[in-house]
Structure 1
Amino acid sequence: MAVKVTDYNSPNIPTWCPGCGNFAIHASLKKALSEMDISPSELFIAFDIGCNGNGADMITSYGFKGLHGRSIPLAVGAHLANRRMTTIADIGDGGCFHEGLDHLIHAIRSNYNITI
């Protein structure tokens, strides 16, 4: 059975500011996942804190809210624990370019099968 965008919908209401780019980011993420036919039960998303971390409540999947800049190591750990899961690290700009940059470099050099 094909996965639909609505399969990822959550009953929670977003608290992002009007015009925030996170609305488009999460709509695009849901669309891409459905086009790739990835079931919510086969998906793990590690979230950073901050506004993008609120997305953990807006999408149906396995997920975890981590510390600032730490969604990449969380995604790596989830991938190593279950390599069959599609694993995504959702990290904000501040988290990625401050604490997360070292984790990004490590994930690239180690060639983990995760999406950042």
Structure 2
Amino acid sequence: MSHEFRPGEVISYPYLWAWQRPVCVVIAIRSATDGNTHLAFLAITTQPPQTGRIALEIPEIERKRAGLSDLKQCWIMVDEYNYDIVERSWYIEPDQNILGRFSKSFMVKIARRFAEARGRTGRVNRLD
């Protein structure tokens, strides 16, 4: 694996939803026990969140940083995520292209909302 994923990086990934496969933001955690990189992908969508969903609207400056400036409005869904492991993934390429990266302060907001949604989040395991 030639790329070390960092929190806030935005990549193209075939996010598993029945109706859409958007670009996603990466939250990466390296396991101390097996050395593998565990990833949580939060979907970025141009569709306004449905009632009852937990999402964070992405400000214009963050869309530009993330390489999403062509989108007029979009949200990060924090109540659902795809789980994958870099070293075992069928979907991540060794030379994965990074579209951009959110700022540290915006990532803090995303992480806080993701933590608040914990227990109400749906996990889609991509290792199956």
TM-score past 0.5 threshold: no
Considering Cα pairs closer than 8 Å and 6+ residues apart, tell me whether 1 or 2 has the greater RCO: 2
Give the structure-2-normalised TM-score. Answer: 0.29
Q: Which has the higher strand share?
A: 2
Give the structure-1-normalised TM-score. Answer: 0.31
